[in-house]
Chain A
Amino acid sequence: GENVEQHPSTLSVQEGDSAVIKCTYSDSASNYFPWYKQELGKGPQLIIDIRSNVGEKKDQRIAVTLNKTAKHFSLHITETQPEDSAVYFCAASKGSSNTGKLIFGQGTTLQVKP
């Protein structure tokens, strides 16, 4: 089955710096790659997603890139702010399943130091 590996497990940056989180997936049939942010004591919330027919997508300070050949995708956060501190999860979905199932990475704890 699909396997999603996420790195690093923890990331500490200074406010204003950029942060990059990387994920690799195993199943070449996967075609949807969302990123979720989980704040302390809350459930994960979608922040950005990308489909396999797109190489890059941006939304203000966050962007996601996808390399289908290498089977990896990355989350980029620029001009980080203390409120970006949270756990971030990548995920992959195989379109052929038609169930909406997601396979999640292990998570990255991002700390933005003021």
Chain B
Amino acid sequence: NAGVTQTPKFQVLKTGQSMTLQCAQDMNHNSMYWYRQDPGMGLRLIYYSASEGTTDKGEVPDGYNVSRLKKQNFLLGLESAAPSQTSVYFCASSPNRGTGGGEYNEQFFGPGTRLTVL
């Protein structure tokens, strides 16, 4: 098992450009998450998907969009990149088997994508 993989590993964008960060998991997990990590601010949830075909906003969703068309993939889009979106982005997945079990599920993280917006 590769676990959670993210592409690309590094990316430099100019202000206003768009791009999609890709995340894939091969563990048949139900839930997937996108976080951004900034110095001194921990991991902040951008969007999450509790199950295939559903998505919901997290703490900091502005400027981002997501897509979960397939269970194993969760895409994070930046429509018009801004310097404030310079960050390290992590994708995670968890089994989240449903009522009575979802809240206790470990999240498995990918290696991250380092994004710089100039």
Contacts and interface: CB of A to CB of B under 8 A. Distances in A.
Q: Do A and B bind each other?
A: yes
Interface of A: 1, 6, 9, 31-32, 34, 36, 41-46, 49, 51, 89, 93-107
B102 A44 contact: no
Interface stretch (B12-20, B60-68, B72-80, B92-100): B92-100
Nearest to A4: B42
Contacts of B4: 43
A100 B103 CA distance: 5
B69 to A, nearest CB: 19
Nearest to A107: B42
Contact of B107 (A1, A41, A100): A100
A113 B69 CA distance: 47
Contacts of A34: 106-107
Interface of B: 4, 31, 33, 35, 40-45, 48, 50, 56, 58-59, 90, 92, 94, 96, 98-99, 102-107, 109-112
Contacts of A101: 33, 45, 48, 58
A106 to B, nearest CB: 4
A34 to B, nearest CB: 7
Contacts of B109: 36, 43-45
Nearest to A94: B103
B103 A31 contact: yes
A99 B58 CA distance: 11
B42 A106 contact: yes
B54 to A, nearest CB: 10
A19 B110 CA distance: 27
Given A42-B111, A100-B31, A101-B45, 19 more contacts: A31-B103, A42-B112, A43-B92, A43-B109, A43-B112, A46-B107, A51-B104, A99-B31, A99-B48, A99-B102, A100-B33, A100-B48, A100-B50, A100-B102, A100-B103, A101-B48, A101-B58, A104-B43, A107-B43
